[in-house]
A and B are shown apart, each in its own frame.
Chain A
């Protein structure tokens, strides 16, 4: 089918195609350049690490959407499952903490329980979609409402806040702290620092980055190098072909949706670590839509069969850099919404103008 193709492409066409395939990275680099000039304190280690740190949640949600979207489905519930998880874990930690359990124990139990519970929405989604043939949009839409409702019930609409202090400390700390010329310490700030000196403290590598890198790497590996990943693409490319090739698509899809809600649950736990509170997800946050945006910017098609973790990661960073850059440039935050919208459209159009020529 592709016999005649390559020979009819000129050099410039190929160049265009390469540019198009990698437009997201190029664009990110360009705007980093621009923001370096327009943004105060943008081009600094601390700021870049901040971007990474804040992107953690989105990375998890986007990763989960990546799997789902590659199979040609969609998961609208991720944002709200995350809210449920943050609320649930926080509530449990709060209760145990109040009952005088040692922090380490209460945090562990709270987190683990939340993670386990968050498998359930994915399970239900998966069963509805495979066995009952409910379109993914609807199944996850319904689940979104249910998860949201549960989060609200558990938290009664209020943030869950009486958590051990050590939580946000873990969530927000770095691997290496350097007080130039004076001290180096790992995992926590050097002891005995006086007030002024904190300003000079250099922090390197947020803990969250370490965690997230490990998780992303594992997911990338699964998607790219394992049979499971291969089958995921196959189902997205042609469900029919996958079925006829003997793949147990029902089981596979259920696992995909379970994975998705599990990662969302993980995001919720991360959230608690980062902010020290658990809270339901408000409608305005649009986590799932931003996650989907990240995936699409990264090159996935909503039809399925295309996309990857690396692309999605780039998508998340692009969005993160934009938000951060706009903020530091003193631009009204609401331009961010506009920017995301425009970039998304550009992403899709580029994708369509250059179908896989290389």
Chain B
């Protein structure tokens, strides 16, 4: 089967620092790929090139077989790539539904020609998608700065799943969640996979990754060091690939650039 998303020789530099070095990988439709690696491995930087936050310094990106230049988040969104970021990328001063619809606000006409925010619609839709995650949010109208970490995460996840993405990138989707909620998110990922959506999951929780991923890509210090089918490997092997079985050099790993 053809890749839904394929990146070839992707490179990103910050000044003299090489954050992502010649990485190639792909995701198929209906496949979950776990992107793993220690801090500073370059995972977040890599996916940010796919989501349009960074422009690659080298390499190409192919989506649905065709080469694409993803030069802005707008572009990524327009070709149906949705991203859940590690830092959630939420506006603290806005409420839950405004965040879910940020940039894609639903409008309605008032007095026949003035376009105004259709809050009722957005509230209803947001409620719907939040209910799928079964996380209680007391009032959708509250500023999200008043919500807990888990509730915030739910809002961010909801945003990423609401827009009918073809490719979904999730950077640490379960970080702030409790056990039951984590399970719900994983169920959701499985559900989306069964709908033919390609998913990249970055996570430190190996247990979670092993329970949903079909394939694993491991990065270390900006490079891809290995790729494994989930059935052909085990957590121990993965850990040693992440950490590097050979002697670790003196260099301190560069912190992941956000």
A residues with CB within 8 A of B? 1-9
Contacts and interface: CB of A to CB of B under 8 A. Distances in A.
B184 to A, nearest CB: 34
A209 to B, nearest CB: 42
Nearest to A4: B16
Contacts of B18: 4
Contacts of B17: 1, 4-5
From A2, A4, A9, name the one whose CB has the most chain B CB atoms within 10 angstroms: A4
A108 B251 CA distance: 62
A9 B16 CA distance: 8
Contacts of A1: 17, 252, 254-255
Nearest to B17: A4
A8 B16 CA distance: 6
13 contacts: A1-B17, A2-B16, A3-B252, A4-B16, A4-B17, A4-B18, A5-B15, A5-B16, A5-B17, A6-B16, A7-B16, A8-B16, A9-B16
Given A2-B16, A5-B16, A5-B17, 13 more contacts: A1-B17, A1-B252, A1-B254, A1-B255, A3-B251, A3-B252, A4-B16, A4-B17, A4-B18, A6-B16, A7-B16, A8-B16, A9-B16
B74 to A, nearest CB: 25
Interface in B237-258: 251-252, 254-255
Interface in B7-40: 15-18
Nearest to A8: B16
Nearest to A3: B251
A8 B14 CA distance: 12
B250 to A, nearest CB: 10
A31 B255 CA distance: 44
Q: Which 9 A-B pairs have the closest CB atoms?
A: A5-B16, A8-B16, A4-B16, A4-B17, A5-B15, A3-B251, A1-B254, A4-B18, A5-B17
Nearest to A2: B16
Nearest to B254: A1
A7 to B, nearest CB: 7
A98 B15 CA distance: 68
A4 B251 CA distance: 10
A4 B253 CA distance: 12
A4 B19 CA distance: 12
Nearest to B251: A3
A63 B15 CA distance: 33
A7 B16 CA distance: 8
A6 to B, nearest CB: 8
Interface in B213-255: 251-252, 254-255
A7 B15 CA distance: 11
Contacts of B254: 1
Contacts of A3: 251-252
A5 B251 CA distance: 13
Contacts of A5: 15-17
Contacts of A7: 16
Contacts of B251: 3
A1 B256 CA distance: 11
Contacts of A6: 16
A3 B15 CA distance: 11
B97 to A, nearest CB: 30
B32 to A, nearest CB: 34
Interface string B143-172: 000000000000000000000000000000
B43 to A, nearest CB: 19
Nearest to A7: B16
Contacts of B15: 5
A2 to B, nearest CB: 8
A82 B204 CA distance: 57
A164 to B, nearest CB: 58
Nearest to A357: B15
A306 to B, nearest CB: 18
Contacts of A9: 16
Contacts of B255: 1
Contacts of B252: 1, 3
A7 B17 CA distance: 11
A3 B17 CA distance: 8
Contacts of A4: 16-18
A81 B255 CA distance: 45
B249 to A, nearest CB: 11
Nearest to B250: A3
Nearest to A355: B15
A8 B15 CA distance: 9
Nearest to A1: B254
B123 to A, nearest CB: 33
A3 B251 CA distance: 8
Contacts of B16: 2, 4-9
A7 B252 CA distance: 17
A226 B209 CA distance: 52
A27 to B, nearest CB: 26
A357 B37 CA distance: 30
A87 B17 CA distance: 56
Contacts of A8: 16
B93 to A, nearest CB: 16
A9 B15 CA distance: 10
